[in-house]
Amino acid sequence: MVNEALTEFTAQTPPGSVAAPWWLSFAVLVYGALLVAAFMIYAQTDHQGPAKVIWVLIIALVPILGAIIYFIAQSLRHRRENRPG
């Protein structure tokens, strides 16, 4: 049954192309979602000086990890600025 499904799937791909593995498609989807979320938070945050350009470069050029680093940095900044007392 699995062999039949795999044969049918590969028959549907154009000649000379390779079907992308599921994990690659999932990684691209996760990267896209993180990228959109990071840029949404970036647009709502007031950055000063060269940090504006640096954060855009980090988010855009470091796949997945750049967005995660930005989320952590902004969480720490928010906690530091909104400390009670």
Q: What is the mean pLDDT of the chain?
A: 85
The percent of residues in the chain predicted with pLDDT above 70, rounded, is: 80
Q: Do the beta carbons of residue 48 and residue 77 sit within 8 Å? A: no
64 SS3 class = coil
Q: Do the beta carbons of residue 59 and residue 74 sit within 8 Å? A: no
Q: From CA 72, how far away is CA 46, in angstroms rounded?
A: 16
Q: Give the pLDDT confidence of 44-75 residue by residue, as tens digits.
A: 988 888 988 999 999 999 988 999 999 999 99
Q: Do the beta carbons of residue 45 and residue 59 sit within 8 Å? A: no
Prediction pTM value:
0.68
